[in-house]
Chain A
């Protein structure tokens, strides 16, 4: 009996050790790629990365940091110079592949799952290290080759990245002028969560109404919002005309028996929901009549579209604009 237990125990220990080793090599890979990404981001913003910076960002020990940089150098991904670290051509290519995987993943998660928006960055951070090449391209094709991620960052393609368009911080935006949200920073997560929770999305139109000490009052989709300047610091605007941000009438605004033509589906309905609505015939130009509101809580509501009666919930009806 004792011998059997002993053998089982030994086998378990061996399995554990093997898994640990595999985990370690994978972790090493993740650290290398994260370091590369950090150097890339620094270069993109016009700075040079330092060894200290990598150590701080990855939260590794001095020894680990040295090993990482040595390895990157051996693989001819970076060059060391007096001022700091610089990517080689290969390093740049690999960095962009990682960034592409990350941003395609974020786009995929935003459209095809219901993960809260502030969490998709973390999830993509884990996936970017294991998804490469054909799989990324298949996802990109499924999404219709997006060029901008949900945070407003350009997605690099074929080793090229579109230059960041000129954009201005919300804290510096002129009072009274309409602007379009071009970028919402995904870190720190607590701030991103706050911004997304209030309903702000990339492409929305906003107008600053008033700016006071540490606080901004602004108009967004026909409603007034307050943001503190820390949150506002993470939002950038451009002047380009808005695509979806106008406060339009939606199916939800119809009264029972009223009819209207669909103008467009909001960009906020994506993936499964969007495909489903289109399949059922909720396409632009089609007349829709509100025929029946649930007697229990007023939700869902039945709409007559193309002769069929389809029930939708309120939050969906609010995303279908009418003329």
Chain B
């Protein structure tokens, strides 16, 4: 048997040499010829109505007049649904989970557990988890299904078609506009979504730049800053519009940086990678709601949430330890924040912010609560919902200025991806090089940009 097999392999190797250069072309042609013959026998096309309808809809959705406005309106609608829709469930979830925290803490006390064990497990590990879940779950559970409805309907490829001119100039693929949009939900999900880009060079560009759009874990930071600092300078009636406008401006900066970095990458390190462009515009379909809910909730939301939970639990524990281990009457957190202060000052930030970004590598949702915890010398992560109190703490006590707010917004946009996203880059590229670049390039850009802004700001 062995010998026969080897004989066959040898024979094929010989024949193959005679096939010539075009054997692949010939093979594909033959397969298509067979398929055509079969299709002619068994497929009947009833009418061209679907096709004509598609053509008409395509004309509208890709028209020079309506194309971009429709896209903008739909994107705004998705954001509005996500942010507004998530408010109430987030608050409810937070109330419930934090109520459970108190109950569990009391239970531990009744059982006679030492305070540090209760603190570490309940006020540390559990609290970190609860925080991430309550901030992350509702927006994702809304964003992903809504996004998937657009995908299922067939609208998203039209967006890629409309936006391709912009990305082509940056040496990237039109579909990157979609993976970028997915990044608003979660950068890790956005990085996985780059699988739709079949061309290696453009795919790596999309992976490496996905982090330049803020995910929903980073939105709370941006919204808080825009309300406390920017909107406060305007009359109350305009406050919410100004706050929204500020967030949009930050997002647009992120898109701009995505394009610039894509362009640089495609002309330097990625120059030699193979590249090709094809984009299918599938027929429009009625979205299959049941399947959408399943795929977006199970495949995307729960998958991302589970990874974030695994990452957030140790971070919660670490934060509690930092806040509760004291050396010479000062918590470890305060010491480290103090050491980081000079570097923070150079970047127009401070040590507490840098420390918060260090411990929040697993999950960016806990940046603000950690900052507040450090400033108010608390033992666990804190949130302050009263605007006046928040202002008093950040401006009067911690000495934040407009520069701090602007640079924190920039840094929220431009820093290393969270550990889930870094892990995803590794899984998708299986390359240490791209993982390291994907992790450190945004951080480097963030440090340089905030440093420059701080120095220029201080000149005036």
Chain A positions within 8 Å of B, measured between CB atoms, are: 112-116, 119, 141, 143-146, 265, 271-281, 283-286, 291-292, 294-297, 299-300, 302, 306, 308-313, 316
Closest to B22 in A: A144
Q: Give the distance in Å from the alpha carbon of A292 to the alpha carbon of B157 in the complex.
A: 14
Complex interface bits, B27-38 against A, C-beta within 8 A gives 1, otherwise 0: 011001000000
Which A residues are in CB contact (< 8 Å) with B271? 114-116
**Contact yes or no, A141 B16, CB < 8 A:** yes
Complex interface bits, B379-415 against A, C-beta within 8 A gives 1, otherwise 0: 0000000000000000000000000000000000000
**Contact yes or no, A280 B278, CB < 8 A:** yes
Minimum distance in angstroms from B334 CB to a CB of chain A: 27
Decide: A144 near B165, CB < 8 A? Known: A114-B201, A265-B25, A295-B62.
no
Minimum distance in angstroms from A264 CB to a CB of chain B: 9
**Contact yes or no, A299 B278, CB < 8 A:** no
Cross-chain contact of A278 among B24, B64, B198 (Cβ < 8 A): B24
Q: Is B10 part of the contact surface with A, judged by Cβ < 8 Å?
A: no
Which B residues are in CB contact (< 8 Å) with A279? 28
**Contact yes or no, A114 B273, CB < 8 A:** yes
**Contact yes or no, A281 B164, CB < 8 A:** no
**Contact yes or no, B62 A294, CB < 8 A:** yes
Closest to B166 in A: A296
Which A residues are in CB contact (< 8 Å) with B55? 291
**Contact yes or no, A144 B23, CB < 8 A:** yes
Which B residues are in CB contact (< 8 Å) with A281? 32
Decide: A272 near B62, CB < 8 A? Known: A144-B19, A294-B164, A311-B281.
no
Which B residues are in CB contact (< 8 Å) with A316? 276-277
**Contact yes or no, B161 A283, CB < 8 A:** no
Chain B positions within 8 Å of A, measured between CB atoms, are: 13, 16-17, 19-25, 28-29, 32, 54-55, 58-59, 62-64, 67, 161-162, 164-166, 168, 174, 198-201, 271-282
Closest to B276 in A: A273
Q: Give the distance in Å from the alpha carbon of A112 to the alpha carbon of B59 in the complex.
A: 36
Decide: A294 near B161, CB < 8 A? Known: A112-B274, A145-B16, A300-B279.
yes
Q: Give the distance in Å from the alpha carbon of A233 to the alpha carbon of B164 in the complex.
A: 41
A-B CB proximity, top 6 nearest: A295-B64, A273-B276, A115-B272, A297-B165, A311-B279, A278-B28
**Contact yes or no, A271 B280, CB < 8 A:** no
Minimum distance in angstroms from B343 CB to a CB of chain A: 24
Cross-chain contact of B17 among A145, A271, A309, A310 (Cβ < 8 A): A145
Which B residues are in CB contact (< 8 Å) with A310? 278-281
Closest to B58 in A: A292
Decide: A312 near B278, CB < 8 A? Known: A115-B271, A295-B63.
yes
**Contact yes or no, B29 A283, CB < 8 A:** yes
Which A residues are in CB contact (< 8 Å) with B199? 272
**Contact yes or no, A300 B164, CB < 8 A:** yes
